[in-house]
Amino acid sequence: MKTDIHDTRLISDFSVSNDDLCRDAILGFCDSPLFHDDENRYEGNFYGRRLRPHIVKHLDFSKPLKTNEIPNYISFAANRILFAMNEVDFLMMPLRDVNPKDFEDRYSNVRISQAYLGMPYLEKFLFSFLDKEIVLSDSWNAKSVEEYFLSYAEQARKLDTTPATEAILSSNQPSVSARDWLIQLAPDFLIESSPMARYAAGNYGKISSSLFKIIIDELGYGEHERKHSSMFEETLISAGLSPEPHKYWQYYLNGSLLLANYYNMITRNRSNIFKYIGAIYQAETGFIRTCSLWRDALRTALPDLDVRYFDEHCHIDIDHSRMAFESLVKVAIESHGKYAAQGIVRGFEEARLVSEIAETDFVTQIKWKDSASINIQKYKDIWPAVRDAYKAGKVRKADLDEPRNELSITHSHDGDELCHVSEGTMEFLNGFQHSTTLERDDGIIIQRNRLHGALIQSDNCKYEIYSIEDINKWL
């Protein structure tokens, strides 16, 4: 039989349906000293990406997430792993003295194989909700796409505020919130255009050359200082932050990683070209206005900020938006008809929804950080009742006893929790550049889905975590 190809001894299913294969690949990928927990609150190793791998085997990525589960820890864990896996495609090197062992581990053939099995599996897990959230009519054509996209451009121009800028300016510490926002942009901006540049390869007609024009702009025409990621590094330095990618890994929010991973998905698998064209039109068009709103808010919060990155985009994205529309959207629909139009509108809607999720995550995190003293008060109000409920067997608790400098790598919980310190001193990490010191008989309420961590600041520290599920039941 000429179609009888597979040897029965071999694995015949390399698809995302092969749970065992994909799961083994993910667990294998996560098992590296570069990904194991350590004691650094900011990443200490150029190639390090802390994935909390000891937790991963308790997570089941086989059933795609529903929309309401996107903020949960399992999604956060999947996003961290997926981002680190995508990096097998991007060469990252320190300015000097690369560590050969780490370098070779990060780019080993084994890790590349594991990543390529794990990535589509995690993408199915994370992004299937988009198919349910976005239902398109099947009648999109050149004319209706043009009307829809131009009306979007007009609306986008009229924006006079964004949720992120409001959150920054109204927060307790606008300068810290502004830095936090720069950090949330970093997963994307520090490798800006690298996902896009995956489309530099291939043979697919005029749109390939039009896309390449945008790519070379993003890369500063080969001048390193004008490369957009280089300009963003200058922004970080002027804000007093390290430009090293991804120094602040532990403070990337779930939503920020979800957004970066969305762009990775629609650029790595090239059959997503039409979705990508829709997404790039949305991003380049939306960014013209939001870029100037972000610039103004960030400069208000951080007066010495180097804003050349933002200035550059305010003007160049006018060109990019026009190029994306005239030379990508229109040409793709002319060449490939309805199939292209459907993909383009889908990519446009998906990119918009995923960016909204990312921005909402940031806004919620800023509110959570600003509520530290309220959460201490809430702890005081309910602590006796929670302790009694535990004694009556109605609440679960975990007892922890940790030595000095033990770091609980940032994470989140799916329900509200109560943290009570019974001995020693804990630096509770409420989020980026915000800590609360908890001594013996102090405590705090940990809001569900909020990024937090802990660092032990005494010889040892005993603390208890109570799963109270919903704080409102107790108040």
Site membership for Fe ion, residue 320 (CB under 5 A): yes
The 3-state DSSP class for residue 402 equals: strand
Residues numbered 8 to 67 that lie near Fe ion (CB under 5 A) are: none
Residue (87 or 218) nearer to Fe ion, CB = 218
Site membership for Fe ion, residue 227 (CB under 5 A): no
Site membership for Fe ion, residue 179 (CB under 5 A): no
Please state, in angstroms and rounded to a whole number, the distance separating the CA atoms of residues 195 and 148. 26
Residue (65 or 197) nearer to Fe ion, CB = 197
Helices 273-301 and 206-218 meet at what angle, rounded to 10? 20
Residue (228 or 246) nearer to Fe ion, CB = 228
Residue (140 or 232) nearer to Fe ion, CB = 232
DSSP 57-88: TT---SSPPPGGGTTSHHHHHHHHHHHHHHGG
What is the x/- site pattern for Fe ion, positions 197-226, by CB under 5 A?
Answer: ---------------------x--------
Please state, in angstroms and rounded to a whole number, the distance separating the CA atoms of residues 105 and 151. 49
Least distance (Å) between residue 320 CB and Fe ion? 4
389-398 contacts: CB < 8 A, separation 24 or more?
390/466, 395/466, 395/467, 395/468, 396/466, 396/467, 397/464, 397/465, 397/466, 397/467, 398/464, 398/465
- Tell me which stretch binds Fe ion (CB under 5 A): 12-20, 172-180, 243-251, 311-319: 311-319
Site membership for Fe ion, residue 416 (CB under 5 A): no
From 87, 89, 317, 350, residue interacting with Fe ion (rule: CB under 5 A) = 317
Least distance (Å) between residue 208 CB and Fe ion? 17
Residue (317 or 416) nearer to Fe ion, CB = 317
Sign of the dihedral defined by the CA atoms of residues 351, 263, 324, 274, in that order = negative
With contacts defined by CB under 5 A, how many residues of the chain interact with Fe ion?
4
Contact 200, 212 (CB under 8 A): yes
Least distance (Å) between residue 192 CB and Fe ion? 5
Least distance (Å) between residue 214 CB and Fe ion? 6
- Tell me which stretch binds Fe ion (CB under 5 A): 7-15, 155-163, 178-186, 314-322: 314-322
Please state, in angstroms and rounded to a whole number, the distance separating the CA atoms of residues 185 and 256. 7
The 3-state DSSP class for residue 177 equals: helix
DSSP 327-396: IIIHHHHHHHHHHHHHHHHHHHHHHHHHHHHHHHHHHHHHHHHHTHHHHHHHHHHHHHHHHHHHHTT-SE
Site membership for Fe ion, residue 228 (CB under 5 A): yes
What is the x/- site pattern for Fe ion, positions 82-121, by CB under 5 A?
Answer: ----------------------------------------
- Tell me which stretch binds Fe ion (CB under 5 A): 43-51, 172-180, 240-248, 318-326: 318-326
Residue (283 or 302) nearer to Fe ion, CB = 283
Binning the chain into helix, strand and coil, the percentages to the nearest 5 are 60, 10, 30
Residues that bind Fe ion (CB under 5 A): 218, 228, 317, 320
